[in-house]
């Protein structure tokens, strides 16, 4: 019995709300293929709505492509660095990824998104510096809509603000714009330039005004960077799962989303393996008894080792 058409539409609307245009079109095309082939009635109207949404998403995608503003997603996760102009985004990107970017003590040093790759606990995390946001970005101030679209296209975000009185005022307005624009990504709040004279005092103001934890960082003094890396690892919600070998060095980990199962692990090695699992044994945090047998839907944890027996 197919799900009611209005329920399908509500689920789709919720799913695509924070997606980029390309992601939205792909999800909607897949949904369209799975629908019953009715051309009238509730499902006919649903099919027409999906087609209209796909057309709109494709048009938006073409516009963004023409503007050459979006960065192609690479690696295991993409994280946007978003904040006011001159708050230290370029310096942090260079420090974490080694990407050579222009750094200056004047606004709008970066005019288009710039990406760098951070190797974090065996995972490849793409950091994308978004050009400085201005208050009113949601209404198009300073190419704000395009900048917000670049943030929204990421898997997660780091919202950055300078630890100064001026930086706090800027960040407050931009935070409201991000919230108002419906950017609903997992996020970190980072207070930059923690070496400034009043940084500790301003940090307390940040913590009073925003519910998220605020991580103070100084690239100049090399403060808070290790803490930021660990918080970033938690933000991207990834785990490392190792193929179990009988001897020798540990295999390179398979990087999976937190909550992944043995079937996901097998599919990442080879798409066909998930259908040929005969027996699974696990060593690590997810299994009470080392080497104990588990089912194929067993949920894995970071640091697990897995041995698969495969049907021929």
- The answer to whether residue 267 is domain-embedded is yes
Q: Is the pLDDT of residue 281 over 90?
A: yes
Instruction: Pick the last residue of a domain from 183, 213, 236.
Output: 236
Same domain, 125 and 220: yes
262: CATH: 3.10.20.30
Q: pLDDT: is 21 or 33 the higher one?
A: 33
Instruction: Pick the last residue of a domain from 219, 236, 253.
Output: 236
- The answer to whether residue 72 is domain-embedded is no
Same domain, 247 and 218: no
* Lowest mean pLDDT segment, chosen from 23-27, 86-90, 188-192, 254-258: 23-27
Q: Tell me how crowded residue 195 is: count the other CB atoms within 10 A of its CB.
A: 15
- The answer to whether residue 139 is domain-embedded is yes
Query: Which among 18, 11, 123, 144 is positioned nearest to 77, based on CA atoms?
Result: 123
Same domain, 148 and 244: no
Q: How many Å apart are CA 90 and CA 148, to the nearest integer?
A: 18
Q: Which residue has the tokens 């913590």?
A: 207
Q: pLDDT: is 144 or 221 the higher one?
A: 221
pLDDT tier at 18, thresholds 50, 70, 90: low
Find the length of the chain: 312
136: CATH: 3.40.50.300
Q: Yes or no: say if 74 and 116 are a contact pair by the CB < 8 Å rule.
A: no
Domain limits for position 20: 5-66
The fraction of the chain above a pLDDT of 90, given in percent, is 49
Q: How many Å apart are CA 6 and CA 55, to the nearest integer?
A: 20
Q: Is the pLDDT of residue 253 over 80?
A: yes
Same domain, 283 and 153: no
Same domain, 83 and 229: yes
The torsion angle over the Cα atoms of residues 209, 212, 218 and 224, rounded to 10 degrees, is 140
Query: Is the pTM for the entire model greater than 0.85?
Result: no
Q: Yes or no: say if 188 and 159 are a contact pair by the CB < 8 Å rule.
A: yes
pLDDT at 102: 57
pLDDT at 240: 96
| Domains held by the chain: number | 3
Same domain, 38 and 152: no
Q: Is the pLDDT of residue 183 over 50?
A: yes
Same domain, 256 and 182: no
Q: How many Å apart are CA 306 and CA 312, to the nearest integer?
A: 19
Q: How many Å apart are CA 263 and CA 271, to the nearest integer?
A: 10
pLDDT tier at 250, thresholds 50, 70, 90: confident
Helices (H) and strands (E) in the chain, counts: 9, 11
Q: How many Å apart are CA 252 and CA 236, to the nearest integer?
A: 19
- The answer to whether residue 71 is domain-embedded is no
Q: Tell me how crowded residue 202 is: count the other CB atoms within 10 A of its CB.
A: 24
The torsion angle over the Cα atoms of residues 73, 77, 82 and 85, rounded to 10 degrees, is -60
Same domain, 137 and 262: no
Same domain, 189 and 289: no
Packed helices 5-16 and 41-66: angle between N→C axes, nearest 10 degrees: 20
Same domain, 242 and 232: no
β-bridge partners, 261: 299
Average pLDDT for residues 28-35, to the nearest whole number? 85
β-bridge partners, 306: 243, 282
- For 154-163, the pLDDT digits (tens) are 999 999 999 9
Same domain, 117 and 15: no
Average pLDDT for residues 131-145, to the nearest whole number? 76
Same domain, 102 and 225: yes
What Å distances lie between residue 77 and 126, 220, 229, 239, CA to CA?
6, 27, 14, 12
Average pLDDT for residues 37-51, to the nearest whole number? 83
Q: ∠ CA(244), CA(75), CA(306), 5° rounding?
A: 10
Instruction: Pick the last residue of a domain from 220, 236, 252.
Output: 236
pLDDT tier at 66, thresholds 50, 70, 90: very low
């Amino acid at each position: 019995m197919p799900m009611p058409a209005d329920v399908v539409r509500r689920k789709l609307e919720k799913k695509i709300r924070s997606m980029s245009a390309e992601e939205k079109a792909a999800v909607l095309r897949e949904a369209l293929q799975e629908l019953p082939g009715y051309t009238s009635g509730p499902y006919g109207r649903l099919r027409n709505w999906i087609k209209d949404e796909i057309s709109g998403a494709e048009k938006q995608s073409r516009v963004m492509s023409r503007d050459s503003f979006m960065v192609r997603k690479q690696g295991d996760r993409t994280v946007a660095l978003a904040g006011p102009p001159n708050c230290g985004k370029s310096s942090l990107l260079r420090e974490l990824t080694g990407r050579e970017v222009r750094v200056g003590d004047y606004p709008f040093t970066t005019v288009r998104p710039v990406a760098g790759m951070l190797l974090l606990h065996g995972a490849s995390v793409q950091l994308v510096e978004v050009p400085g946001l201005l208050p009113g970005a949601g209404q198009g101030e300073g190419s704000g809509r395009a900048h917000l679209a670049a943030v929204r296209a990421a898997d997660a975000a780091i919202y950055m603000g300078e630890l100064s009185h001026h930086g706090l005022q800027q960040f407050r307005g931009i935070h409201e714009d991000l919230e108002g624009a419906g950017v609903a990504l997992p996020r970190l709040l980072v207070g930059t330039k923690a070496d400034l004279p009043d940084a500790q005092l301003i940090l307390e103001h940040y913590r009073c005004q925003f519910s998220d934890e605020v991580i103070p960082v100084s690239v100049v003094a090399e403060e808070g960077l290790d803490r930021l890396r660990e918080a970033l690892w938690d933000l991207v919600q990834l785990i490392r799962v190792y193929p179990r070998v009988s001897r020798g060095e540990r295999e390179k980990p398979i990087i999976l989303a937190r909550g992944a199962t043995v079937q996901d692990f097998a599919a990442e090695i080879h798409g066909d393996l998930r259908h040929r699992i005969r027996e699974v044994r696990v060593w690590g945090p997810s299994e009470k008894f080392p080497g104990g047998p588990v089912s194929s839907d067993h949920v894995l944890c970071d640091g697990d080792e897995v041995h698969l027996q495969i049907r021929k």
